[in-house]
Amino acid sequence: MDTTSSNLSTFKRKVALLIGNQNYCQDEDQLYHTINDVNDIGFVLRTMQFQVDKHHDLCNSEMINAFSDFSKTILDGDLILFYFSGHGCEMNGKNYLLPIDDEFIENDQGIENCVIHSEQILHQWSQQFPSSIIIFILDCCRLSYSYTRRRRGRNVKYESNNSDETKVPKGTYVVFACSQYQIASDGLLTERNGLYAKHLLKHLKKPNRDLRQLFRSVNNGVCIESKQRQKPTRFDGLIDLEPIYLTEKPLNSNEDKRKTKCK
């Protein structure tokens, strides 16, 4: 695939893996909107000609199998999108996605054997599918596990002097729903979606928008609604590439004339 072209026809296919973990085994970890988030985003992606693989409430072994099974379906040259909605945490600069069987996680030190290391999946796919564009959208918190457990459900953030030095492989684009050491809001009980998913759904289907522009609009909306308490972060491994559109709509000749007509 020629990754310098913005034309989606250069991608073999558009494929997406969506995981929404909501009904966690620990009562205090229950969420309210993640299944809606995955269902709604999956519906929109299908209208955008994505082949969608969607999962709800996976334990650790099921999450491992979901990644493995999805990986076997990917063709090098696909446009690959992964979206996760659920609990997450960050330890020593590594970001982890929590399965619903979180009762097996006793402390920060024992976490690696019970969770999914998102960067590991990203780098694995990047090496395995070098001609693909890979988009990761991680709609989860970025606190340490122990701190997340103490603060879960509160709209607060933990400040740190450490800088976010996350690096992503070339050909990838990673979006976190919040900044390092922040909580990602699950949204109001009166609403259908979590805060980030709500704004993602507003912009996802808009045609002829470069990937970077799309997520810039999503992130701005989240920052404004949360009054800067939740600041989404993007890491761009597409620096040298031309604009990439998730969906395109050709303009008809009359529209082109109106747009180019001079006074």
Model pLDDT, residue 149: 54
Reported as a pLDDT band with limits 50, 70 and 90, residue 105 is: confident
For 222-244, write each residue's pLDDT tens digit.
999 999 999 999 999 998 788 99
Model pLDDT, residue 93: 85
Q: Which residue has the tokens 């990761």?
A: 136
Rounded-to-integer distance, Cα 185 and Cα 216, Å: 18
Rounded-to-integer distance, Cα 57 and Cα 137, Å: 18
Report the share of the chain in percent with pLDDT over 90.
70
Rounded-to-integer distance, Cα 254 and Cα 97, Å: 48
For 178-191, write each residue's pLDDT tens digit.
999 899 999 999 99
Strand partners, 206: none
Model pLDDT, residue 254: 55
Q: Does the pLDDT value for residue 71 go beyond 50?
A: yes
Q: Does the pLDDT value for residue 64 go beyond 50?
A: yes
Reported as a pLDDT band with limits 50, 70 and 90, residue 210 is: very high
Rounded-to-integer distance, Cα 48 and Cα 248, Å: 9
Q: Which residue has the tokens 């998913």?
A: 197
Model pLDDT, residue 226: 96
For 126-141, write each residue's pLDDT tens digit.
999 999 999 999 999 9
Model pLDDT, residue 192: 97
Reported as a pLDDT band with limits 50, 70 and 90, residue 10 is: confident
Length of the chain: 263
Q: Does the pLDDT value for residue 151 go beyond 70?
A: no
Q: What is the mean pLDDT of the chain?
A: 86
Reported as a pLDDT band with limits 50, 70 and 90, residue 146 is: low
Reported as a pLDDT band with limits 50, 70 and 90, residue 252 is: low
* Cut 0.85: pTM above it: yes
> Minimal CA–CA distance to 111: which of 132, 95, 128?
95
Q: Does the pLDDT value for residue 155 go beyond 50?
A: no
